[in-house]
Structure 1
Amino acid sequence: MLLPTLLLEIGNHQFEVAETLIQVGRFLVIFLAARTLAEVMVRLSLPTILGELLAGVLIGVSGLHFLLPPDTGVAINDLLLNLVSSLSGVTPEQVQELYTESFPGLQQVSLLGLYALLFLTGLESELDELMAVGLQATTVAVTGVVLPFALGTAGLIWLFHVPTILAVFAGAAMTATSIGITASVFGELGWLKRREGQIVIGAAVLDDILGIVILAVVVSLAGGEALAIGPILKLVVAALVFVAAALWLSGTAAPAFDWLLDRLKAPGEVVVAGFVVLSLCCFAAQAIGLEAALGAFAGGLILSRSRHTEAIQETVKPLVALFATVFFVLIGTGMDLSVLNPLEPANRPGLVVALFLLLVAIAGKVAAGWSYLSKEPSNRLVVGLGMLPRGEVGLIFLGLGTQAHLLTPALEAAILLMVIGTTFLAPLLLRLVLGGEGPAPRDPLEEIPT
């Protein structure tokens, strides 16, 4: 009886070793690649987030296959498989299985980075200024949603004869703005607290709300369900009430938070209390059918008027530097750049459609920068470019379409290229436009590290 038990324990130990090697190895690969390319970007006067995205491309589907989302259907690098297999004593096939099963844990870590980044963005937002630009942000958000959606959908139907539901889905994929990427770029360039930065952040939040509504409608249509106005109105009302509640709590709950924090004595009270608020807001947003990311930003807004805001920022920034890096690298790992090869006949229809979608995606968001009225001078091109990146939001739309088997290979490739193009172009164009102006005067410690 002892021998089978001993053999079983040895086998379990081998699996534990393999799983540990996989998890630790992932972080090692992510941070080595991301920080190396981030250093290159700094020396080229480019945003570091671009280096993190490129790091994901380098180690992901389009590169070395060291880090692969399971839904890509691609096997991880043989060298990595055999290395983990030889060190742990399990077979390469078992290593691949363990890799796939444990990947969701890495995705959860990356989401923590996104939520921490948005929480920090809310903390650093000048709430009075954000509310002061509310009308401009609303105009930018609505224009930046309506133009890409209408032009993209109509163009696909009339120019490329795409079926209506597919065209509507592709149009919807161009509506939202990646607030995580936008906040990171503006924070790094020192423009987060300027009027343009506040307009873009406010508009990106509203974009998320509108994007949630559009997503609900499109998924309903794609599933063959009857279009019901009631659930849509309920979603809109929930989103508006949630944002209004966050703004109200920023003036009423922050003093209570300060009172409680002043009475806590255990080490780490600032970061723990801050993350309790973050978690509560994410939970509340998800519970009423909204995105948890919106809750994270709202949590930062609520505490933006706290006396301890600067202390919270300083404790959250290292977490952002670590985990937001994981988030942006994972976006890059899922980008399959092989669809860019024009020599492959199967890619050509997708490339033509992709060029159209990319032009509409850029034009629609940039035009939104000229859609608002303002008595004060502002850089409207910066506002438009700040709304440009689709990032993880576009990939979420694409993933839903792929899972539902809605998209043709050409249209799937076109949407992917639109997401890749806007995600990479936004940091480059913003750096080009802002290069001669320099950042707003501020304490260097206040910048968001990425």
Structure 2
Amino acid sequence: MISSVPQLFLQMGSHEMEVASTLISVGRILLIFVAARALAEVMVRLQLPTILGELLAGVLIGFSGLHFILPPETGAQLNGTLLNLVSSLSDVTPDVVQSIYNSTFPNLESLATLGLFALLFLTGLESELDELVAVGLQASTVAVTGVVVPFALGTLGLLYFFHLPLIPAVFAGAAMTATSIGITASVFGELKYLRTKEGQIVIGAAVLDDILGIVILAVVVALAGGGALEIGPIIKLLVAAAVFVAASLFLSRTAAPLFDWVLDQLKAPGEVVVASFVVLCLCCFAAQAIGLEAALGAFAAGLILSSSKHTHLIQDTVKPLVALFATIFFVLIGTSMDLSVLNPMDPSNREGLVVAAFLLTVAILGKLVSGWSYLSKEKTNRLVVGLGMMPRGEVGLIFLGLGTQARLLNPALEAAILIMVIGTTFLAPLLLRLVLGGKEAPAEQPA
């Protein structure tokens, strides 16, 4: 952080500091977009999802690659050549460049968060409410199965096969419960399967997974902190989630005409995107204020406006923002991945690789099973549903970060959870493309 080197900063002029900060901020964005677009083009030519290219771009320029983009929590130093280049251009020392980089990194994370929210907002917009409600029972069954099976198998397996203590085993099991709705929505949207019955089941289940994951996270954090496990806060959280979902469904039926009226009164340029993002921010604020994830609010905002007469116009204005900022989000996931834990030649990795093989197997099978857990009179592709539930992505990394901060995980278990997250994050888009790549997406119904 800047405060860690005050003496160095006092020796620098404000102009030099401003130049260094600007070079770092603009340079990071430039590196992210160039790397992401280059690898996305490769993925398109290989008929693979572009999100895979964005994740690989993060790996290439991040902690496991060139060290051009590094989350400060990794504790690693930026690439020496990059440090020296910015240092010479801004006339400040490399230590100051590193410190400015660390202190301004949250700005980049804010852009990435905006990208996630915009992506989920677009997912909500493209979801047919009637279709989503129609698959509510199936989505609930898929969500519960996709949480219970990997959590139970993972926890019990770590306890009885690897003889881990209870709390670390429970934490590792909990890390396998959630589904990254951002990754799933991106892949389904790209493959034109978001509006299919399978797509709606997976999106609905992923939203419920998010809610269940929040509850499990609250329980595990309470256990990890040595506090008493109180039922009251958990029930309160569940009630808040139920009220929020019910309110979102109600508003999606009633609020769109009011939004359309307001939009029709606005004449200044940019009224569509500004008004839409006001609704997005309000829903994110409301979700966070009652203890839920803001990402859930972003999806709810899209769902509320999905019945607006301006839906297609909103989609057209939001898609460029998704293309820009969601790219940053997915690249940052890749930058934090440490692929050195995959090296079997390092003796310190071998225990973690054995545990990782177990966790990855359970993580994949636990979500695949959920595709066969629901009843449906219509024929559906259950493998697609199971694969859509597979990626853990940023949710798994959040769990891992919390476990590391609480010092609950030994190095082997920490590496195993990271490998599980990496494996499911990369395999899901790849397998979905292989399963759906040769099939023509059903034609979408006109709005």
TM bracket (short chain) = over 0.9
Match of 2:328 among 312, 323, 326: 326
Match of 1:366 among 368, 371, 376: 368
The amino acid of 2:442's aligned partner reads A
The amino acid of 1:409's aligned partner reads P
- 8 Å Cα contact 2:12-2:92 kept in structure 1: no
How far apart, in 1, do the equivalents of 2:438 and 2:42 lie?
21
- Structure 2 matches for 1:143-158, cutoff 5 A? 143-158=145-160
How far apart, in 1, do the equivalents of 2:311 and 2:250 lie?
17
How far residue 441 of structure 1 moved from its aligned partner, in angstroms, is: 2.3
Match of 1:118 among 117, 120, 125: 120
Partner of 1:104 in structure 2? 106
Partner of 1:343 in structure 2? 345
2:83 corresponds to 1:81: yes
2:312 corresponds to 1:310: yes
Q: In the TM superposition, what whole-angstrom CA distance separates every residue of 1:224-280 from its partner, at most 9, and x where no partner exists? A: 000000000000010111011000000111111011111111110000000000000
- 8 Å Cα contact 2:174-2:216 kept in structure 1: yes
Partner of 1:26 in structure 2? 28
- 8 Å Cα contact 2:51-2:187 kept in structure 1: yes
Unaligned runs of 5+ in 1: 1-6
Report the secondary structure of 2:267's partner residue.
Answer: coil
Partner of 1:62 in structure 2? 64
Q: In the TM superposition, what whole-angstrom CA distance separates every residue of 1:67-126 from its partner, at most 9, and x where no partner exists? A: 000000110000000000000000000000000000011001100000000000000001
The amino acid of 2:113's aligned partner reads L
How far residue 9 of structure 1 moved from its aligned partner, in angstroms, is: 10
2:428 corresponds to 1:426: yes
Describe the shift of the 1:132–1:442 C-alpha distance in structure 2 as closer, same or farther (beyond 3 A). Answer: closer
How far residue 439 of structure 1 moved from its aligned partner, in angstroms, is: 2.0
TM-score, length-scaled by structure 1: 0.96
How far apart, in 2, do the equivalents of 1:121 and 1:277 lie?
15
Match of 2:409 among 407, 410, 419: 407
The amino acid of 2:234's aligned partner reads I
Partner of 1:14 in structure 2? 16
Partner of 2:172 in structure 1? 170
How far residue 436 of structure 1 moved from its aligned partner, in angstroms, is: 1.9
Match of 1:95 among 89, 94, 97: 97
Partner of 1:249 in structure 2? 251
Report the secondary structure of 2:408's partner residue.
Answer: coil
How far apart, in 2, do the equivalents of 1:436 and 1:379 lie?
14
Partner of 2:3 in structure 1? none
The amino acid of 2:119's aligned partner reads L
Partner of 2:4 in structure 1? none
Describe the shift of the 1:16–1:126 C-alpha distance in structure 2 as closer, same or farther (beyond 3 A). Answer: same
Report the secondary structure of 2:68's partner residue.
Answer: coil
TM-score, length-scaled by structure 2: 0.97
How far apart, in 2, do the equivalents of 1:10 and 1:63 lie?
31
Partner of 1:3 in structure 2? none
The amino acid of 2:220's aligned partner reads V
Match of 2:301 among 299, 302, 307: 299
CA RMSD of superposed structures (Å): 1.4
Match of 1:200 among 199, 202, 208: 202
The amino acid of 2:170's aligned partner reads V
Partner of 1:53 in structure 2? 55
Report the secondary structure of 2:161's partner residue.
Answer: helix
Partner of 2:5 in structure 1? none
The amino acid of 1:420's aligned partner reads I
Partner of 1:398 in structure 2? 400
**252-261 or 386-395, which deviates more:** 252-261
Unaligned runs of 5+ in 2: 1-8
The amino acid of 1:277's aligned partner reads V
Report the secondary structure of 1:160's partner residue.
Answer: coil
2:215 corresponds to 1:213: yes
How far apart, in 2, do the equivalents of 1:280 and 1:310 lie?
21
How far apart, in 2, do the equivalents of 1:376 and 1:155 lie?
36
How far apart, in 1, do the equivalents of 2:437 and 2:264 lie?
42
How far apart, in 2, do the equivalents of 1:371 and 1:407 lie?
32
Partner of 2:181 in structure 1? 179
- 8 Å Cα contact 2:195-2:444 kept in structure 1: no
How far apart, in 2, do the equivalents of 1:358 and 1:8 lie?
50
Q: In the TM superposition, what whole-angstrom CA distance separates every residue of 1:353-374 from its partner, at most 9, and x where no partner exists? A: 0000000000000000000000
Task: Tell me the number of residue pairs that the alignment of Structure 1 and Structure 2 aligns.
Answer: 439
Report the secondary structure of 1:306's partner residue.
Answer: coil
How far apart, in 2, do the equivalents of 1:312 and 1:417 lie?
38
How far apart, in 2, do the equivalents of 1:45 and 1:92 lie?
42
Report the secondary structure of 2:255's partner residue.
Answer: helix
